[in-house]
Amino acid sequence: MATERKFFVGGNWKMNGNKKEIDGIIAFLTAGPLDPNTELVCGVPSCYLEYCRQKLPATIGVAAQNCYKVPKGAFTGEISPAMIKDVGVEWVILGHSERRNVFGESDALIAEKVGHALSEGLKVIPCIGEKLEERESGKTDEVVFSQLKAIVEKIPLDKWENIVIAYEPVWAIGTGKTASPQQAQEVHGKLRQWLSENVNAEVAQKVRIIYGGSVTAENCRELAKEADIDGSLVGGASLKPDFIHIVNASQ
């Protein structure tokens, strides 16, 4: 990781947790110790957003795991950035592979969501990544550049400081298969180069690109050593006390 980019760890709880279990997570996060040089954000089920924001230390961010592309209206089951902000939460994860592949969200829809969330003042973790068959057929670059291009077109230049890009190869999420540090670094480096060529060099250098896909306490340090890997987006491992080691991976 480059020194000018603050190490970033997102804990994506997905559809897990009840108040008792969440109290346990809050307890081990509060006890720490957490590296003060790492920015930590927890992605929380929507019904627990306010509960977690009230209970977690102020130094730990809270993120919604999804939102819609307009402020309000007849969209049953959706929440808006305005609602997320109203309960004191300032982050949202958008375009996670489960949103893309389980719920059928398109690049275009995800890009619209990113644009609206930024316009409403939220910070955004947009996710990109290829499926196994896409990697095996040599289409990784084509897929991730296409996903990134759709999102980038909706990000005003003055909003890049509110973006943390997550690269999550779909074949590595929850499968126990992790991209090797070298495989992940190769894609991260190409993403940064694409940003330099298609946005500008300053954005490319400053934006944090984090890796997701079976990150564990065992492999997090090797990933963190790579020049263009600025942290991690962690799923199931973020529900367990060992998550502290992942948060502290850059120490």
Positions marked catalytic: 96, 168
Q: What's at 233, amino acid-wise?
A: L
The helices-and-strands tally (H runs, E runs) of the chain is 11, 8
The total of other beta-carbon atoms located within 10 Å of residue 135's CB is 19
Residues near 245 by beta carbon (within 8 Å), at least 6 away in sequence: 217, 220
The total of other beta-carbon atoms located within 10 Å of residue 11's CB is 25
Contact 226, 181 (CB under 8 A): yes
Tokens, residue 40: 């930590």
The angle formed by the CA atoms of residues 128, 132 and 134, to the nearest 5 degrees, is 75
Report the C-alpha gap between 16 and 98 in whole angstroms: 14
Q: Longest Cα pair distance anywhere in the chain, in angstroms? A: 48
Pairing of strands 61-64, 208-212: unpaired
N-terminal to C-terminal alpha carbon distance within the chain: 12
Half-sphere exposure of 228 (CA within 13 A, CB side): 19
Tokens, residue 42: 């927890």
The 3-state DSSP class for residue 64 equals strand
